[in-house]
């Protein structure tokens, strides 16, 4: 009960501040829709409007981009983390690409991949891969060699060490990489949907912007925030179950 | 544990040297070390920290190859690590992703030590009980104290029934009371199932209390300074600490170790200049 109140408090506070700003007259009323106007618009778009389709398209792109990005980041990050020698010269390359904002690549992606669905997924893939690969290899590099040594003294073969020691130690880093990649992918989504997208939350915001429909912009932004938040919460809940043994998460 | 002297030795160090390559050139950590360990003997190796004691244990464990001389186990040169040599590491290395009983069962589930399930469960139960971990079967190591983790590491090593037990400062991180309990527990377990033991330690008292032979090594590179037979019969108990001979032996060994410790300090200071 108390906990629920504490969780809700900052949200209630934000809505109150929003009302205060919108109703104070400090900002021109046409530039600042009130929360109930946005809620009404959300209801309208959600029931029979374009919102369900937009949410579906965006979520699908994020899932696909993150799935592909992490599918590559896990083995690459693992190899870089495990073989320190490899890392010393691959590391600068990875940091070079990681530092490039995905938006800067959009013109090139359009040239090479056109403006279809693949172009958007590629941007999200790019963002997820570089966010994920760093988390993976830094996590793997920190794994203490003591566990492998112990397993060897107990008679473990190389394959057993991989299956019974390295894999369990890798799982928490995969989950962290997923969380980071999801965050980055949602942040990059709007940029990727700038590429002539007709559907998706980014497109919704983009179109609303051209028609000065501020309430729709707010609906889009809030939807992105809540979807990203619920995915993060779901992943954290999964982490708690999968890696209950860890100090950080757990209890 | 008191074996006749005529028995063939199980671990033999013959003129062993070890050199590591470092950024500042080769570093000699062990020099011309020869000694042997008989069946069921308990040998403690004592000397200043950073002198190469752990390297000597790592050779027997199969993690380090000597650069000169040879180390043989039952007459054969040491290959890689193996389950007949149980190792207790300084940092325990209990698997944090496994519960207490899964940790103990880890070795038993490997192809190298495959056992019928019933027997496996029995062994796990036995060592969990012996080490006082019975109430924590389903607990993860993050919920255990330092002493309990240590007992878990020992239980896990024991479960695969090693003939040799190699221990590197196993009680170093424990408080005095827990440490003393763990020493007694170790002696109890060894009395029940004899093993050939090599213990690396800093503590003179621990070395005398536990072992049948003490090897004092010099500052780096490790050479043998003196080999001392501990004249006390097993089983031993806390009262041993009060005996006059214990005190004499302790001051003799402490003297040797302090001299080597000072030499190691001078060496470190020189290296820093």
HEC-encoded secondary structure of B152-212: HHHHHHHHCCCCEEEEECCCCCCCHHHHHHHHHHHHHHHHHCCCEEEEEECCHHHHHHHCC
pLDDT at A249 exceeding the cut of 70: no
DSSP-derived secondary structure for A139-182: HHHTS-THHHHHHHHTT--HHHHIIIIIHHHHHHHHHHHHHHHH
CA B190/CA B210 separation, integer angstroms: 10
pLDDT value of residue A37: 92
Residues of B in contact with A243 (CB under 8 A): 97
Model confidence band, residue B182 (pLDDT cutoffs 50, 70, 90): confident
CATH for the B11-84+162-272 domain, from 1.20.1090.10, 3.40.50.2020, 2.40.50.100, 3.40.50.300 = 3.40.50.300
The pTM of the full predicted model, rounded to 2 decimals, is: 0.82
CB distance B110–A160 less than 8 Å? yes
Residues of B in contact with A246 (CB under 8 A): 96, 142
In total, chain A counts a number of residues equal to 251
Say what percent of chain B tops pLDDT 70: 97
Structural domain A34-242, CATH architecture: Orthogonal Bundle (1.10)
Calculate mean pLDDT across residues A95-121.
87
Residues of A in contact with B86 (CB under 8 A): 153
pLDDT value of residue B193: 84
CA A223/CA A38 separation, integer angstroms: 11
**Comparing A151-165, A236-250, B175-189, which segment has the lowest mean pLDDT?**
A236-250
CB distance A157–B81 less than 8 Å? no
Model confidence band, residue B273 (pLDDT cutoffs 50, 70, 90): low
Model confidence band, residue A101 (pLDDT cutoffs 50, 70, 90): confident
CB distance A155–B113 less than 8 Å? yes
Residue A228 has what DSSP assignment?
H
User: Degrees (nearest 5) of the Cα angle B237, B240, B161?
Assistant: 40
Calculate mean pLDDT across residues A129-154.
92
Residues of A in contact with B101 (CB under 8 A): none
Chain A contact for B9 (CB, 8 A cutoff): no
CB distance B96–A250 less than 8 Å? no
Residues in chain A whose Cβ is within 8 Å of chain B: 144, 146-147, 149-157, 160, 164-165, 168-169, 243-247, 250
With contact defined as beta carbons under 8 Å apart, do A70 and A181 qualify?
A: yes
As given in the structure block, the two tokens for residue A200 are: 């998706």
Chain A contact for B197 (CB, 8 A cutoff): no
Q: What pLDDT digit, counting tens, does each position of B46-77 carry?
A: 988 877 889 999 999 999 999 999 999 999 99
User: In the Cβ-directed half-sphere of B50, how many Cα atoms lie within 13 Å?
Assistant: 9
B106 burial (CB, 10 Å; 0-12 / 13-18 / 19+) is buried
pLDDT at B6 exceeding the cut of 60: no
pLDDT at B257 exceeding the cut of 60: yes
**Domain spans, chain A:** 1-32, 34-242
Model confidence band, residue A23 (pLDDT cutoffs 50, 70, 90): confident
pLDDT at B119 exceeding the cut of 70: yes
The distance of B250 to chain A (nearest Cα, Å) reads: 33
User: What burial letters (b/e) apply to A54-73, b meaning 16+ CB within 10 Å?
Assistant: bbebbbebbebbbbbbbeeb
The set of residues, in sequence order, having a beta carbon less than 8 Å from that of A107 and lying 6+ positions away, is none
pLDDT at B4 exceeding the cut of 60: no
**Comparing A59-73, A190-204, B90-104, which segment has the lowest mean pLDDT?**
A190-204
The distance of A245 to chain B (nearest Cα, Å) reads: 5
ipTM for the assembly: 0.87
pLDDT at B250 exceeding the cut of 80: yes
pLDDT value of residue B175: 84
Please tell me which residue of chain A has the smallest CA distance to B102: A164
H-state helical runs in chain A: 2-24, 35-46, 51-82, 84-99, 102-113, 117-141, 146-153, 158-161, 167-192, 201-210, 214-242
Q: What pLDDT digit, counting tens, does each position of B120-179 carry?
A: 999 999 999 888 899 999 999 999 988 899 889 989 998 998 999 999 998 887 888 888
The set of residues, in sequence order, having a beta carbon less than 8 Å from that of B156 and lying 6+ positions away, is A150, A154, B94, B103, B104, B106, B107
The distance of B87 to chain A (nearest Cα, Å) reads: 6
Mutate to test the interface with B, among A143, A145, A151, A154 (most CBs of B within 10 A): A154
Residues of B in contact with A151 (CB under 8 A): 106
Mutate to test the interface with A, among B61, B85, B110 (most CBs of A within 10 A): B110
pLDDT value of residue A248: 58
**Domain spans, chain B:** 11-84+162-272
With contact defined as beta carbons under 8 Å apart, do A155 and A145 qualify?
A: no
Model confidence band, residue A250 (pLDDT cutoffs 50, 70, 90): very low
Q: Which residues pair with B164 in a beta bridge?
A: B85, B196
pLDDT value of residue A251: 31
pLDDT value of residue A103: 81
The rounded mean pLDDT for chain A is 89
With contact defined as beta carbons under 8 Å apart, do B167 and B198 qualify?
A: yes
Calculate mean pLDDT across residues A182-207.
86
Give the one of B93, B110, B141 whose C-beta lies nearest to A156's C-beta: B110
Please tell me which residue of chain A has the smallest CA distance to B108: A154
Calculate mean pLDDT across residues B30-52.
91
pLDDT at B3 exceeding the cut of 50: no
């Amino acid at each position: 009960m108390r906990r629920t109140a504490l969780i809700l408090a900052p949200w209630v506070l934000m809505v109150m501040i929003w009302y205060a700003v919108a109703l104070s007259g400090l900002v021109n009323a046409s530039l600042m829709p009130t929360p109930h106007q946005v809620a009404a618009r959300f209801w309208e778009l959600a029931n029979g409007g374009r919102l369900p389709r937009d949410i579906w398209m965006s979520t699908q792109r994020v899932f696909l981009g993150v799935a592909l990005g992490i599918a590559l980041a896990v083995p690459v990050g693992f190899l870089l983390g495990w073989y320190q020698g490899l890392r010393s010269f691959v590391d600068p390359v990875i940091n070079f690409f990681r530092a490039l904002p995905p938006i800067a690549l959009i013109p090139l992606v359009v040239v090479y991949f056109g403006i279809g669905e693949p172009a958007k997924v590629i941007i999200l893939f790019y963002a997820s891969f570089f966010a994920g690969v760093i988390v993976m290899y830094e996590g793997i590099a920190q794994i203490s060699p003591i566990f492998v040594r112990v397993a060897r003294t107990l008679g473990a073969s190389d394959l057993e060490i991989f299956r019974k020691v390295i894999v369990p130690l890798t799982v928490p880093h995969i989950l962290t990489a997923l969380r980071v990649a999801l965050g980055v992918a949602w942040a990059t989504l709007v940029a990727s949907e700038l590429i002539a997208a007709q559907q998706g939350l980014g497109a919704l915001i983009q179109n609303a912007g051209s028609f000065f429909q501020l309430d729709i912009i707010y609906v889009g932004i809030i939807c992105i925030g809540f979807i990203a938040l619920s995915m993060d919460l779901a992943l954290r809940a999964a982490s708690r179950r999968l890696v209950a043994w860890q100090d950080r998460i757990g209890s | 544990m008191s074996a006749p002297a005529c028995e063939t030795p199980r671990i033999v160090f013959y003129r062993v040297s070890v050199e590591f390559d470092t950024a500042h050139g080769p570093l000699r950590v062990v020099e011309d070390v020869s000694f042997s360990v008989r069946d069921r003997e308990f040998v403690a190796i004592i000397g200043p920290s950073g002198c190469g004691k752990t390297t000597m244990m790592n050779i027997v464990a199969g993690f380090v190859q000597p650069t000169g001389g040879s180390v043989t186990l039952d007459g054969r040169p040491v290959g890689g690590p193996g389950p007949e040599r149980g190792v207790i590491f300084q940092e325990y290395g209990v698997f944090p992703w496994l519960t207490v009983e899964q940790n103990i069962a880890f070795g038993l589930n490997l192809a190298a030590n495959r056992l019928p399930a019933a027997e496996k469960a029995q062994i796990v139960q036995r060592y969990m009980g012996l080490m006082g971990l019975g109430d924590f079967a389903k607990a993860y190591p993050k919920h255990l104290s330092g002493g309990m983790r240590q007992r878990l590491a020992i239980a896990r090593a024991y479960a695969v029934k090693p003939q040799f037990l190699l221990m590197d400062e196993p009680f170093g991180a424990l408080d005095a009371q827990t440490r003393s309990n763990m020493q007694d527990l170790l002696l109890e377990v060894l009395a029940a199932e004899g093993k050939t033991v090599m213990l690396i330690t800093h503590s003179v008292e621990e070395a005398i209390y536990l072992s049948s032979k003490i090897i004092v090594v010099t500052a780096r590179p490790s050479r043998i300074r003196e080999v001392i037979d501990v004249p006390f019969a097993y089983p031993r108990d806390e009262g041993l600490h009060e005996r006059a001979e214990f005190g004499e032996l302790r001051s003799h060994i402490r003297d040797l170790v302090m001299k080597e410790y000072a030499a190691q300090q001078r060496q470190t200071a020189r290296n820093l200049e």
